[in-house]
């Protein structure tokens, strides 16, 4: 029998054949009439081949494995953890030493918060990048980075990094050349000689940072141009109508993939395409470009998946996971912002009607080739993305409910358990976003300060209930650094000149390793109970096959406004998950659980039977049950 062998060229050809149409159908529609299209096509093909030739052998092996196991990121043992390298591990060399800690927590995916070379001074938490091919020198260099990704990979932990594709720092080499007048690079950005077009665009644009960066354009007298700057003044929006930007970004993407990145978090993707008379968010071209980026990556580095960051309404978010013609071909992951918002909303209101309505109405039971990134907190603020229509559907006034949530999580509402701070109040719309750590927003800060043991119990239960929710709802749950030991708000940011204007630093504390050690040593302490609780949740999740993302997620009606219920439907049996969002006792009839598929009346989280023997399942305050 002849030995089977296959060349690198053959593998490339097979993968190219698989994704060729997904790539060129989109690109020809967007750039087909551009005078440089033919040259662009050739250049892109060359770049793909070059990146494949340079791809290290161990990553090529990972590619093959992922081709065989394309559901790897949808499996229930996937759990993510996001951290700033300096705040968590000092620098990149410190990362390998933290992997035991992460593995104990069940982590299989780490998000290194922005780690490419940022501009000096305020860099919007690293999202103002001046060099995509260099590592932030405060964290180490590219060799340290590759060593860190290799160490993670060896432990079965996939590394995610941010790729900011909507803008560069104004100090990026492209921007500097554009500023110096080089026409090739001027076409990389969106520049205007007078304010006619900026003014016309502004009519329908929204403001992302109305407090500290009002407006979407900045005037530079030295070049006599307005520059499109959606976010901060130092972040210049890229001109994606120029095919050269696509080419540059594919090259950067594959450069990072070849250094061991397995998840590319494509930042602020909703903003990349501009159209007069619109909000310039989530235009159809965004999805065409994102499908093409995905196809390019599947050709060269199929081990890599894309997390698309679009913090928008449910209808607007779902297309980032592929809808219609992009089904199964766009993002593999997108943040489930609605689930996060609804969690905090239901907690404050002690009422789940809005949550049940939103989750049941807007989200399909399954997705193709994709799943959600579920989370309770991240490095950004919480914006109360509740539409007036959804609020009205359950008898609420949208504006009043959003105002209530802000007041509640600022801690100002009478009886609020939360401690937080406002972020970017917009007097025009009344919108006020919120900053704060998971633990502080959930009541731990106030409870500890008051020395109130019952309130501490309640706060811990809220934290654990929330994590049990994101661990069982479809997706990869992401833990934000420090939440596993209940880190509180860091008010010290007010004294740091680079951060004082941005309250998001309230919930970006430095990891408290003493607290982490105390948590591990004393499981009965406050931090110990949080840590032990989270470890248990993620271990039980990993052991529950029904939580694979391929299995449908069905929102259940309990008839009780204190409870949220979701069933995961697997052919091998359902799991019915129940959450009590109030500090009162409630119950559901055992017959309800059985009718909905929980035939065993056994809680997978506590690994104990449920039911009080009289046909009811009692639910203590903030109960979380996963019934098989």
Query: Which active-site residues does the annotation give?
Result: 267, 309
Longest dimension (CA), the chain: 80
CB of 447 to ligand GLC, least distance (A): 29
Give yes or no for residue 335 binding ligand GLC (CB under 6 A). Answer: no
Q: Which stretch binds ligand GLC (CB under 6 A): 68-76, 124-132, 254-262, 293-301?
A: 124-132
Among 231, 236, 538, 564, binds ligand GLC (CB under 6 A): 231
Please say which residue, 423 or 626, places its beta carbon nearer to ligand GLC: 423
Using the structure block, give the residue that is written with the tokens 């937080």. Answer: 420
Cβ-closest position to ligand GLC: 127
Q: How far is the CB of 360 from ligand GLC (least distance, A)?
A: 28
Q: Going residue by residue from 304 to 333, which x/- string records binding to ligand GLC, judged by CB under 6 A?
A: -----x------------------------
Binding to ligand GLC by residue 80, rule CB under 6 A? Answer: no
Which residue in the set 22, 63, 124, 330 belongs to the binding site for ligand GLC (CB under 6 A)? 124
CA distance 462 to 435: 18
d(CA 148, CA 343): 34
Exactly one of 261, 268, 478, 549 binds ligand GLC (CB under 6 A); that residue is 268
Minimum separation from the CB atom of position 55 to ligand GLC (A): 28
Using the contact rule CB under 6 A, the part of the chain among 122-130, 286-294, 338-346, 567-575 near ligand GLC is 122-130
Give me the phi and psi of 184, to 5 degrees please. -55, -45
**What DSSP state is assigned to residue 280?**
S
Select from 81, 84, 101, 127 the one that contacts ligand GLC (CB under 6 A): 127
**Per CB under 6 A, which of residues 373..412 are in contact with ligand GLC?**
379-380
The window from 120-128, 248-256, 486-494, 571-579 that contacts ligand GLC (CB under 6 A) reads: 120-128
Contacts of 28 by beta carbon, 8 Å cutoff, 6+ apart = 37
In order, the DSSP letters of 122-138 are --GGGTSEEEEEEE-TT
Residue 164 contacts ligand GLC per CB under 6 A: yes
267 interacts with ligand GLC by CB under 6 A: yes
The CB-of-171 to ligand GLC minimum distance in angstroms stands at 15
DSSP reduced 3-state for 79: coil
Tokens matching residue 83: 């951290």
Answer for the pair 293, 250: CB distance below 8 angstroms, yes or no.
yes
Helix (H, G, I), strand (E, B) or coil at 516: helix
Distance CA(51)–CA(77), nearest Å, equals 31
CB of 102 to ligand GLC, least distance (A): 22
Q: How far is the CB of 128 from ligand GLC (least distance, A)?
A: 7
375: β partners: 478
Nearest to 474 by CA among 378, 586, 551: 551
| Straight-line distance from the first to the last Cα atom of the chain, in angstroms, rounded to the nearest whole number | 50
Q: Alpha carbon of 388 to those of 206, 391, 397, 398: distances in Å?
A: 17, 5, 7, 4
Q: Which residues bind ligand GLC (CB under 6 A)?
A: 124-125, 127, 164, 231, 267-268, 309, 379-380
């Amino acid at each position: 029998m002849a030995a089977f062998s296959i060349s690198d060229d053959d593998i490339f050809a097979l993968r190219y054949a698989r994704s060729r149409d997904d790539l060129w159908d989109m690109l020809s529609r967007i750039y087909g009439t551009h005078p440089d299209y033919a040259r662009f096509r050739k250049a892109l093909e060359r770049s793909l081949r070059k990146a494949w030739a340079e791809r290290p052998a161990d990553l090529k092996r990972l590619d093959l494995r992922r081709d065989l196991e394309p559901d790897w990121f949808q499996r229930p043992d996937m759990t993510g953890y996001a951290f700033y390298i300096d705040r968590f591990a000092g620098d990149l060399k410190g990362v390998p030493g933290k992997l035991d800690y992460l593995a104990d927590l069940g982590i299989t995916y780490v998000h290194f918060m922005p780690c490419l070379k940022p501009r000096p001074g305020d860099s919007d938490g690293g999202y103002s990048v001046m060099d995509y091919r260099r590592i932030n020198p405060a964290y180490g260099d590219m060799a340290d980075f590759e060593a860190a990704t290799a160490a993670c990979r060896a432990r079965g932990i996939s590394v995610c990094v941010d790729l900011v594709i909507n803008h560069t720092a104004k100090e990026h080499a492209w921007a500097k050349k554009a500023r110096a007048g080089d026409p090739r690079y001027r076409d990389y950005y969106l520049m205007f000689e007078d304010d006619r077009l900026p003014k016309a665009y502004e009519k329908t644009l929204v403001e992302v940072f109305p407090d500290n960066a009002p407006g979407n354009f900045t005037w530079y007298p030295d070049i006599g141009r307005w520059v499109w700057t959606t976010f901060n003044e130092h972040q210049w929006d890229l001109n994606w109508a120029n095919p050269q930007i696509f080419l540059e970004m594919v090259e950067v993407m594959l450069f990072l993939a070849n250094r061991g990145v397995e998840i590319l978090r494509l930042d602020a993707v909703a903003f990349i395409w501009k159209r007069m008379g619109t909000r310039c968010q989530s235009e159809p071209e965004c999805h065409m470009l994102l499908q093409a980026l995905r196809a390019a990556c599947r050709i060269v580095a199929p081990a890599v998946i894309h997390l698309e960051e679009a913090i928008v309404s449910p209808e607007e978010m779902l297309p980032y996971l592929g809808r219609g013609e992009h089904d199964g071909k766009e993002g593999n992951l997108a943040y489930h912002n609605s689930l996060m918002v609804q969690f905090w909303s239901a907690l404050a209101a002690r009422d789940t009607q809005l949550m049940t309505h939103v989750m049941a109405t807007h989200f399909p039971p399954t997705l193709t080739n994709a799943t959600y990134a579920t989370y309770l907190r991240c490095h950004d603020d919480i914006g109360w993305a509740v539409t007036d229509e959804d609020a009205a559907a359950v008898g609420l006034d949208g504006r009043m409910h959003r105002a209530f949530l802000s007041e509640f999580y600022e801690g100002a509402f009478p009886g609020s358990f939360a401690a937080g701070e406002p972020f970017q109040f917009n007097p025009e719309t009344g919108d006020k976003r919120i900053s704060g750590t998971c633990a502080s927003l959930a009541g731990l800060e106030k409870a500890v300060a008051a020395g109130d043991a019952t309130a501490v119990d309640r706060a811990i239960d809220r934290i654990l209930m929330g994590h049990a929710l994101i661990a069982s709802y479809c997706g990869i749950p992401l833990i934000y650094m420090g939440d596993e030991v209940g880190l509180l708000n860091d008010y010290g940011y007010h004294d740091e000149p680079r951060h004082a204007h941005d309250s998001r630093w309230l919930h970006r504390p430095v990891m408290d390793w003493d607290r982490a050690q105390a948590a591990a040593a004393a499981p009965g302490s406050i931090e110990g109970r949080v840590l032990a609780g989270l470890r248990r949740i993620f271990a039980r999740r990993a052991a529950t096959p029904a939580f694979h993302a391929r299995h449908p997620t069905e929102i259940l009606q309990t008839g009780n406004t204190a409870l949220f219920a979701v069933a995961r439907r697997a052919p091998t049996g359902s799991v019915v998950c129940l959450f009590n969002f109030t500090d009162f006792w409630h119950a559901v009839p055992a017959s309800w659980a059985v009718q909905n598929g929980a035939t065993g009346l056994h809680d997978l989280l506590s690994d104990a039977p449920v039911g009080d023997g009289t046909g009811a399942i009692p639910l203590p305050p903030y109960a979380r049950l996963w019934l098989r």
